[in-house]
């Protein structure tokens, strides 16, 4: 086995923590969400829009890297079984026992219901999908897509278990990971934008969501395929400043021409195609830059990483439900947006820490329901 890539663990942990902060900001921006503050910040909205472009693409790429390492240690059949236990079971449990609380507080704020939670909860078992009903996977859409991608790609994973195919993968991934070829892998991402973005806007619904589906599975496959060669890490580290400079240049252009006013193109034309190219380049080059800087400065472990690498998945499962529940009350207070957001962040992380340490981590059943292995091991392996 190759030496563990601690910098990948850091990227994963920090990306998920950023996701929690992202959702703590959602009550205070102009985009729709479960609970909303009366006043919204347009400046915060533009920052959130920028983060939205690359935070989940980065996680899909890192998940692909994790899949590659996982398949080094187990058969494809064993991998599929592990995905069911660590992705599908926590998803079902969250849909029926955690996420309904989000729907409850959303409907309470919108005036759709006015009843205690025990009276609302049986509606979940009517199996009527949201928004007409109360059954939804909400923020767990990422786990849904990840699980589906893993199942769909099982034949590909099996193919690359064959020695001759594995050698081809290692050789060809090494070619693609070289500095001349690696930047051009953003071209398919731009093509997806041109082809699917307007016709299939992001829905997180799995079905009829072709832009997000194909875009995400491509990035997951990139992570799986390119990580077969150490050349990827070397290229990202060596050219990290170049990649970051390109990403920042694309960010500046996108803000100047599109995001300052959040005027996103709604029809095809030169402005639309320019947006697609810049957005694809921003996402891909920022992913490469993040990997490069992490490889340079974060290729180590410590007690925080050991703790967070396990805790981050249960944190992810629970975080939005806690944010919505606390947010329902916080947005009613007469306080500035910044102070409300700080309170929400603090309440979320304190609650996550307590629930993880005293309810989830100590018991076998709760460990399984929240995506952890039944027994804690010194070297942990991520499920997402």
When pLDDT is cut at 50, 70 and 90, the band that residue 4 belongs to is confident
**Which pLDDT score is estimated for 3?**
74
208 versus 125: which is more confidently predicted?
Answer: 125
The span from the CA of 216 to the CA of 222, in Å, is 10
- For residues 235-243, give the mean pLDDT: 98
- Dihedrals phi, psi of 262, to nearest 5 degrees: 50, 45
**Which pLDDT score is estimated for 375?**
79
For residue 92, the tally of other CB atoms under 10 A from its CB is 12
End-to-end CA distance of the chain: give it in Å, rounded.
Answer: 20
- Measured at the CA of 140, the angle between CA 138 and CA 141, to 5 degrees, comes to 80
Q: Measured between alpha carbons, how far is residue 89 from residues 123, 133, 135, 383 in Å?
A: 21, 22, 16, 12
User: For a pLDDT cut of 70, what percent of the chain falls above it?
Assistant: 97
The span from the CA of 90 to the CA of 154, in Å, is 21
- For residues 83-94, give the mean pLDDT: 97
Which residues, listed in sequence order, are joined to residue 129 by a DSSP beta bridge?
135
**Which pLDDT score is estimated for 322?**
98
The span from the CA of 233 to the CA of 358, in Å, is 38
- pLDDT beyond 90 at 319: yes
244 touches 284 (CB < 8 A): no
**Which pLDDT score is estimated for 383?**
67
- For residues 280-304, give the mean pLDDT: 97
When pLDDT is cut at 50, 70 and 90, the band that residue 60 belongs to is very high
Mean pLDDT score of the chain, rounded to an integer?
A: 95
Query: What's the pLDDT tens digit per position in 167-205?
Result: 999 999 999 999 999 999 999 999 999 999 999 999 999
Which residue in 365, 362, 366 sits closest to 376, CA to CA?
Answer: 362
When pLDDT is cut at 50, 70 and 90, the band that residue 1 belongs to is very low
Residues with Cβ within 8 Å of 297's Cβ and at least 6 positions away in sequence, in order, are: none
C-alpha of 164 from chain center: 33
Residue with tokens 């499962």: 317
- pLDDT beyond 90 at 230: yes
The span from the CA of 40 to the CA of 29, in Å, is 5
Virtual torsion, Cα 219, 225, 226, 229, nearest 10 deg: 160
- pLDDT beyond 90 at 281: yes
- pLDDT beyond 70 at 382: no
The span from the CA of 323 to the CA of 288, in Å, is 31
Q: For residue 46, what are its two tokens?
A: 């533009």
Residues with Cβ within 8 Å of 106's Cβ and at least 6 positions away in sequence, in order, are: 34, 35, 324
3-state SS string over 23-85?
HHHHHHCCCCCCCCCCCCCHHHHHHHHHHHHHHHHHHHHHHHHHHHHHHHHCCHHHHHHHHHH
When pLDDT is cut at 50, 70 and 90, the band that residue 379 belongs to is low
Alpha helix stretches (DSSP H) within 113-227: 117-120, 141-152, 154-159, 163-176, 187-196, 210-226
- pLDDT beyond 60 at 212: yes
Q: How many CA atoms lie within 13 A of 336 on its CB side?
A: 3
376 versus 123: which is more confidently predicted?
Answer: 123
Q: So where are the chain's domains?
A: 6-99+137-369
- pLDDT beyond 50 at 93: yes
């Amino acid at each position: 086995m190759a030496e563990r890539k601690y910098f990948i663990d850091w990227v994963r942990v920090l990306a998920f923590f950023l996701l929690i902060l992202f959702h703590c900001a959602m009550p205070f921006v102009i985009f729709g969400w479960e609970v909303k503050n009366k006043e919204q910040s347009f400046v915060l909205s533009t920052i959130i829009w920028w983060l939205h472009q690359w935070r989940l693409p980065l996680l899909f790429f890192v998940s692909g890297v994790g899949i590659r390492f996982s398949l080094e240690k187990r058969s494809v059949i064993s991998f599929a079984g592990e995905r069911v236990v660590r992705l599908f079971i926590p998803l079902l449990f969250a849909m029926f026992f955690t996420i309904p609380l989000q729907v409850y507080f959303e409907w309470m704020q919108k005036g759709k219901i006015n009843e205690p939670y025990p009276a609302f909860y049986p509606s979940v078992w009517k199996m009527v999908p949201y928004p007409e009903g109360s059954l939804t996977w909400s923020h767990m859409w990422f786990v849904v897509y990840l699980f589906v991608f893993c199942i769909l790609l099982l034949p590909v994973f099996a193919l690359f278990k064959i020695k001759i195919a594995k050698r081809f993968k290692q050789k060809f991934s090494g070619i693609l990971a070289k500095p001349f070829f690696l930047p051009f892998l953003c071209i398919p991402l731009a093509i997806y934008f041109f082809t699917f973005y307007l016709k299939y806007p992001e829905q997180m619904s799995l079905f009829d969501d072709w832009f997000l589906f194909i875009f995400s599975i491509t990035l997951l496959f990139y992570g799986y395929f390119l990580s077969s060669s150490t050349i990827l890490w070397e290229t990202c580290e060596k050219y990290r400043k170049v990649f970051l400079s390109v990403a920042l240049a694309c960010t500046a252009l996108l803000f100047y021409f599109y995001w300052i006013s959040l005027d996103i193109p709604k029809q095809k034309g030169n402005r639309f195609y320019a947006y697609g190219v810049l957005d694809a380049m921003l996402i891909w080059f920022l992913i490469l830059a993040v990997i490069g800087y992490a490889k340079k400065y974060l290729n180590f472990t410590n007690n925080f990483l050991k703790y967070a690498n396990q805790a981050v998945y249960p944190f992810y499962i629970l975080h939005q439900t806690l944010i919505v529940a606390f947010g329902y009350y916080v947005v009613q207070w007469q306080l500035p947006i910044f102070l409300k957001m700080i309170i929400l962040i603090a309440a979320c992380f304190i609650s996550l820490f307590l629930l993880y340490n005293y309810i989830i981590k100590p018991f076998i059943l709760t460990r399984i329901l929240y995506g952890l292995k039944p027994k804690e091991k010194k070297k942990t392996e991520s499920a997402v």
